[in-house]
Amino acid sequence: MNLVWKLLRQHISVPQFAGFFLANLVGMVIILLGIQFYNDTQAIYQSEDSFMKEDYLIVNKKIGAVTTITGKANTFSQAEIAEAADQPFVERIGTFSSSLFDVHASFDIQGFARFSTDMFFESVPDEFVDVKTEDWHYDEGSTALPIILPKDYLDLYNFGYAQSRNMPKLSEGILGAMKLKVSINGNGFQDTYDGAIVGFSSRLNTILVPQAFMDYANQRYANNEGALHTRLIMQVNNPTDERITTYLQDNNLETDQDKLDASKTTYLLRIIVAVVMSVGLVICILAIYILMLSIYLLVEKNSTKLENLLLLGYSPARVSMPYQLLTLGLNLLVFVLAFILLLIVRHIYLQLFADFFPDFTSPSILPAVIAGVVLLVVVSVLNIIAVRRKVMSIWNRKES
């Protein structure tokens, strides 16, 4: 092997291999960084305080002076819901269900304060709820009632009501530990439930109960009389789609513009990440082409020596081995350096994430590791096959 290597390395072009090495390094770093950055930002999408949520829009009919004077209903009919679901930009759609019964809640924070108030409930299909908890379910006949509050309500209490009245501020943990007495009246029934606050929603600005409880309670306490849908929740595939705005205007609908803008920002961020990863992939492909071209030129320069070695009895596999080891070594070095650079860059942007999102927990680097290994294997196999085929072409030429 040493003799074969000494004969074949004389025509190795260092600039050509350096060009491949740098191009492949840049391409792999971009691809791995794009994959890991996207994976890290997914954790931000799922964090409670993130503006980069899935692209959900809450839509309702506009309420104007004419609506108030004439008493015209601002609810959605089944036909209108079906029409909205058929729009090309809508992936999923759900409806808000409102309570048709009287609700009264009270709770006592010993040593702090006692609260009692009339309230209301709403529900949406469970797949649209952004608070993930095992407690979010209701079994018919049970007195245990899970409740999700809007995070905005807690902020309004802490920084508005409590601040002005010198009352204690409440954390999510304290509220979650409290038990509410929920009294429900209607249709000749009066029952008391043990309410428990199981989470705080940043997506849905209402007091939520499970859909199963709402269906049961509206039937028991109101016979489902007057059950109407006043709001829709849509998951859209592209919040920048101009057809969304056109559809809302044409049907006299409105949504929270801030959420629409945040969804557009999220979508554009994902597009940027995809574009950057595509650029990295193109660079990697070009780097592979450069390496294969360099190997072909090197083998062509040494074709006479290779033919002589084959005539002396060396097998094509043995003659190919030095080139294959060379490319494999370069690919491994690129892989290692790419991950070192990835860890350095990731450490920098994770510090920025931690400043903006205190609750951010960095996910595993495993997706980037898997992608890097797959890329390493694919590039190495292609290089090995290319060298083998070139040497075999010389072998076949010798045989002929």
Q: Rounded distance, CA 134 to CA 149, Å?
A: 16
Q: Rounded distance, CA 23 to CA 293, Å?
A: 14
Q: What is the average pLDDT value for the chain, to the nearest integer?
A: 77
CB 121 within 8 A of CB 214: yes
Model pTM score:
0.54
For residue 294, the model assigns a pLDDT of 66
Beta strands 179-186 and 189-201, pairing class: antiparallel
Q: Rounded distance, CA 371 to CA 34, Å?
A: 11
CB 248 within 8 A of CB 59: yes
Give the count of beta carbons closer than 10 Å to the beta carbon of residue 100: 21
CB burial of residue 313 (10 Å; 0-12, 13-18, 19+): exposed
Which span out of 87-96, 256-265, 288-297 was modeled with the highest average pLDDT?
87-96
For residue 13, the model assigns a pLDDT of 65
Residue position matching structure tokens 């191009």: 23
CB 389 within 8 A of CB 299: no
Q: Is the pLDDT of residue 87 over 80?
A: yes
CB burial of residue 286 (10 Å; 0-12, 13-18, 19+): middle
What value does the CA radius of gyration of the chain take, rounded to a whole number of Å?
Answer: 32
Least reliable range by pLDDT among 36-40, 323-327, 356-360 = 356-360
